[in-house]
Amino acid sequence: MWKFFETIERQGKWILGVLFLFLLVNSIQRADQKSDFLDYYHASERWSTGENLYRFDVAEELQTKIKTTEDLFRPENLSLLLALQNETATYIYPPLFSFLLIPITYLSESNAALVFEVISWISLVSIFILLFQNKELNLEKSKFPLSILLLMLLFNFRYIESHIQNNQVGIFLILLVLASLLVKHDSLSGFLLALAVSIKITPLVFLFVFLYEKKFKRIFWFFLGLMIWNAIPLAYNFDYTVKMSYEWITEILGNALNNPLLRSWKNNQSLPSTLAKYFVSGADFINQPIYHLPFFELSIFTLKSIQMICIFLFGLPLLMLWRYKNQKWTIVALLFLISALFSGISWIHSFIICLVPTYYILNNVLVRNLNSKYVLILILSLPLLSHRTFVGQKLESLLSMYSILFYTTSLLYFYIVRFGLYENKNRN
């Protein structure tokens, strides 16, 4: 095994260079395809038109116009029905993100998508560089640093490919979070994490790291940054920003993202979606009958109770690690995984967050040559092996419907928990 790594290590820089070049070319070729980026793009355009950022106004208008079944088929209501399907709640981020993208709307859709793809690619390369040069993570000298990067890329290739296809913001968010944890300046650290949270709420969990390290100055700068970042759109259009911020808090954060039935479709691999697919009729009315789901019917209250129990079971190890010193990166790795597992919506590309946990655990287990390294390699291989390339379209669909990625990511989570506790026991 080690001789193989020695061979790879000698050519590691060239192999990585070729792979990153391949990803760049792939990104450029995919720029013309329909993707999630168009939801960002059209939301940014609404700042100039004054339309509702989340298009909930369409649902309200339909409620007033459609009183009977016949009204659904009237030609004058067709545009509203299409807007309800393609625009309502397709953009679910805070207003700031769409505001920051306003300059890109001066480009055509395809050119803007290309720019965003390139930004994501640069962010991906930057993540690899930061991890490779991170002295906190690389406390012990590895014989195969480039091989570990290659393995990290290989094991996460399914997520990277899906991310490129969907032209999502996830990689940029990972870069912001990683940079906020690595920079020395408290103010910059707080502002970077504040920007990440202002774009998407899930990075808020990394405030836990600042608390663990007792870096209260960073927490102060985080909250100050949060206020400053979200005040910027107010200078552009005060009334619109206030209205859309209220809409996001009440409709998106308050209602939609707390609803376990929100987009509980086949490819949504989060815990809330998994429970909904298993136990609620109509959660995915197209695919549930095909795969003999739900198993049986449970109430929404029961589903939320199960969620709370799972959150406790996953959160307990974090509280245990909190008591020990030098567990920062174990906690960081676990928080990345939690942000996908318990998010309301976690498509396949959302698991791009496994990049940092994968590097962390590979770097530690392979450097120490632990006996459990083969178990780790198996766990990391499962998402790749469940792709249609290896199992075919039908079996991949079946595995996705039963949320295979939720289980593989959970296995990785508890493997890292075991390593963190085992490492601390040996240290003591």
Question: How high is the pLDDT of residue 75?
Answer: 64
Question: How many domains does the chain contain in total?
Answer: 2
What is the value of pTM for the model shown? Answer: 0.92
Does residue 77 fall inside a structural domain?
A: no
- pLDDT tens digits, residue range 202-255? 999 999 999 999 999 999 999 999 999 999 999 999 999 999 999 999 888 877
Question: How high is the pLDDT of residue 407?
Answer: 98
Q: Which of 412, 413, 408, 410 is CA-nearest to residue 384?
A: 408
Question: How high is the pLDDT of residue 296?
Answer: 93
The angle that helices 56-65 and 78-86 make with each other, rounded to 10 degrees, is: 150
Q: Evaluate whether 289 touches 298 at the Cβ level (below 8 Å).
A: no
Question: How high is the pLDDT of residue 10?
Answer: 81
Residue 412 has pLDDT above 90, yes or no: yes
* Confidence label for 5 from pLDDT (cuts 50, 70 and 90): low
Question: How high is the pLDDT of residue 96?
Answer: 97
Q: Which of 258, 274, 305 is the last residue of a domain?
A: 258
Q: What angle do CA 20, 161, 343 make, to 5 degrees?
A: 125
Question: How high is the pLDDT of residue 89?
Answer: 62
Does residue 46 fall inside a structural domain?
A: no
Q: Are residues 163 and 297 in the same domain?
A: no
To the nearest 10°, report the CA torsion of 24, 25, 31, 35: -70
Q: Are residues 150 and 223 in the same domain?
A: yes
Query: Rounded mean pLDDT of the chain?
Result: 89
The angle that helices 37-49 and 109-133 make with each other, rounded to 10 degrees, is: 120
The CB-based long-range contact list for 236-245 (8 Å cut-off, 24+ gap) reads 236/47, 236/99, 237/47, 240/47, 240/50, 241/95, 241/99, 244/52, 244/53, 244/54, 244/95, 245/94, 245/95
Q: Evaluate whether 341 touches 357 at the Cβ level (below 8 Å).
A: no
* Confidence label for 78 from pLDDT (cuts 50, 70 and 90): low
Residue 263 has pLDDT above 80, yes or no: no
Q: Are residues 4 and 134 in the same domain?
A: yes
Does residue 175 fall inside a structural domain?
A: yes
Q: Are residues 242 and 310 in the same domain?
A: no
Q: Are residues 370 and 415 in the same domain?
A: yes
Does residue 108 fall inside a structural domain?
A: no
Q: Are residues 11 and 144 in the same domain?
A: yes
To the nearest 10°, report the CA torsion of 273, 276, 278, 279: 170
Q: Are residues 252 and 277 in the same domain?
A: no
For residue 330, give both structure tokens.
Answer: 């174990």
Q: Evaluate whether 264 touches 282 at the Cβ level (below 8 Å).
A: no
State the Cα–Cα distance between residues 340 and 406, nearest whole angstrom.
9
Question: How high is the pLDDT of residue 77?
Answer: 54
**Cβ-Cβ contacts under 8 Å for 122 (sequence gap 6 or more):** none
Count the Cβ atoms, other than its own, within 10 Å of residue 172.
Answer: 21
Q: Which of 162, 168, 166 is CA-nearest to residue 386?
A: 162
Question: How high is the pLDDT of residue 86?
Answer: 52
Rounded average pLDDT over 183-203? 97
* Confidence label for 258 from pLDDT (cuts 50, 70 and 90): low
Q: Which of 204, 228, 258 is the last residue of a domain?
A: 258
Q: Evaluate whether 59 touches 88 at the Cβ level (below 8 Å).
A: yes
Count the Cβ atoms, other than its own, within 10 Å of residue 118.
Answer: 14
State the Cα–Cα distance between residues 243 and 50, nearest whole angstrom.
11
Report percent pLDDT > 70 for the chain.
Answer: 87
Residue 23 has pLDDT above 90, yes or no: yes
Count the Cβ atoms, other than its own, within 10 Å of residue 360.
Answer: 22
Does residue 155 fall inside a structural domain?
A: yes
- pLDDT tens digits, residue range 91-122? 889 999 999 999 999 999 999 999 999 999 99
Q: Are residues 277 and 182 in the same domain?
A: no
Question: How high is the pLDDT of residue 413?
Answer: 98
Residue 148 has pLDDT above 80, yes or no: yes
Please list, residue by residue across 342-358, b when 16 or more beta carbons sit within 10 angstroms of its beta carbon and e when fewer do: bbbbbbbbbbbbbbbbb
Element (DSSP H or E) covering residue 254:
none
Q: Are residues 314 and 378 in the same domain?
A: yes
Question: How high is the pLDDT of residue 82?
Answer: 54
Q: Which of 258, 277, 298 is the last residue of a domain?
A: 258
State the Cα–Cα distance between residues 257 and 251, nearest whole angstrom.
9
State the Cα–Cα distance between residues 296 and 22, nearest whole angstrom.
46
Question: How high is the pLDDT of residue 256?
Answer: 57
Does residue 287 fall inside a structural domain?
A: yes
Rounded average pLDDT over 4-30? 87
- pLDDT tens digits, residue range 295-305? 999 998 999 89
Q: Are residues 235 and 298 in the same domain?
A: no
Q: Which of 353, 302, 340, 333 is CA-nearest to residue 420?
A: 333
Q: Which of 213, 60, 44, 214 is CA-nearest to residue 113?
A: 44
Q: Are residues 10 and 145 in the same domain?
A: yes
Please list, residue by residue across 183-202, b when 16 or more beta carbons sit within 10 angstroms of its beta carbon and e when fewer do: eeebeebbbbbbbbbbbbbb
For residue 147, give both structure tokens.
Answer: 């091989």
* Confidence label for 292 from pLDDT (cuts 50, 70 and 90): very high
First to last CA, the chain: 31
Question: How high is the pLDDT of residue 85?
Answer: 52
Residue 36 three-state SS: coil
**Residue with token string 């970042």:** 229
State the Cα–Cα distance between residues 354 and 411, nearest whole angstrom.
12
Q: Are residues 245 and 267 in the same domain?
A: no
State the Cα–Cα distance between residues 171 and 352, nearest whole angstrom.
7
Radius of gyration of the chain (CA): 22
Residue 323 belongs to domain spanning = 259-428
Does residue 299 fall inside a structural domain?
A: yes
Does residue 61 fall inside a structural domain?
A: no
